[in-house]
Structure 1
């Protein structure tokens, strides 16, 4: 199948295309405007692959949780492209994609939710299979869910931002940490491909991000009151 994917749930924007299992990926510069780069990256990638937009069979996107603006961007770009040519869309959990990128084993995916909170989930990864052990939640650092047993690899921006606090909370369950790991569009495609193959794509108009946090936006005063960043 020929599939396109966007992932912008973090400070890294990536776009990828799958050509019957062969994946090509491009990324934007960290800190650059995702909204200005998403479509140019997709256009360049399609040209590199020799595929037209109408030649695609589906579009996937990283649905979150993560940065709200990034989630809305990935979803809206996927929707906008898909609606025009009637393509199905699939949203893939960004923490699942993050875990898949860590490779086989037990993966504790954790990203910075700001306001001294983190998005966390735990997965067992084997090949392209990601089995949920703890479903995604948003939590205060001293209350993040503790996975069963030991041997978990902690990965994601949460460990870069709050490594000490998370290590104190998770203790000996962790075998290591990778705070530089990010969810990527290539991993979104690996998870989305079998779903598209089974006909599980949905109408683009029905696609929505997975925010997890009930309140999507707070005022600066609310963030400061919670001890977060302005």
Structure 2
């Protein structure tokens, strides 16, 4: 797939400026696999890497579709928690974080996000991600002017704008320093009965 995309663009891997990767948050295994593949390609081509937030990529997608400059992205983190982040698009197309990315119980979103937004006196927001369908009452409980962007998942093409600005800020790293962001510090797994 990588070869076919490069061939379509009439480029080789070594002609690229950097490799962009989804750093998470998201599925532990999926994020690790994505980072690992990107690291392998970057090592082989001696390219720097730029990590892009899954939640910010969803905000960019929502902006592309709706022109909403303020987006609250949230996805299911399993174990009765959600990953959430709030973003504001600047006039130059770069994004600033209004609500730091966090993993929390859905019922805490109302308190945490409402306090943060009130501190910034923000206006209308667009929502993106799967959480809003899983917990339909959350959006109305925020007591904000909210519209649904229809965005459920991030798309690779939306990472490019974010990576462009990150590169301009000098945020690229060598492949060996590329890492994922899980937000959750510990995970406890329970063995099923009669399993070793």
TM-score > 0.5 by shorter chain:
yes
Query: Within 5 A, what are the aligned runs for 1:133-148?
Result: 133-144=98-109, 145-147=112-114, 148=117
Higher helix share: 2
Structure 1 residue runs of 5 or longer lacking an equivalent are: 1-39, 222-230
Deviating runs (4+, > 4 A) in structure 1?
A: none
Listed as ranges, the gaps of 5+ residues in structure 2 are none
RMSD, matched Cα: 2.0
TM superposition shift of 1:88:
0.4
1:200 Cα deviation from its structure 2 partner: 3.3
Q: How does 1:53-202 map to 2 (within 5 A)?
A: 53-103=13-63, 104-126=68-90, 128-144=93-109, 145-147=112-114, 148-149=117-118, 150-164=123-137, 166-167=138-139, 169-170=141-142, 172-178=143-149, 180-202=151-173
Give the structure-1-normalised TM-score: 0.71
Larger Rg: 2
Q: How many residues align?
A: 179
CA distance in 1, matches of 2:85, 2:125: 11
Return closer, same or farther for 1:52/1:217 CA change in 2, 3 Å cut-off. Answer: farther
What is the distance in 2 between the residues matched to 1:102 and 1:131? 15
When residues 112 and 80 of structure 1 are mapped into structure 2, their CA distance, relative to the original with a 3 A threshold, is same
Q: 1:142 to 1:184 in 2, by over 3 A?
A: same
Q: Deviations over 1:105-160 (max 9, x none)?
A: 22111111112211111111235211111100011111113242552211111112
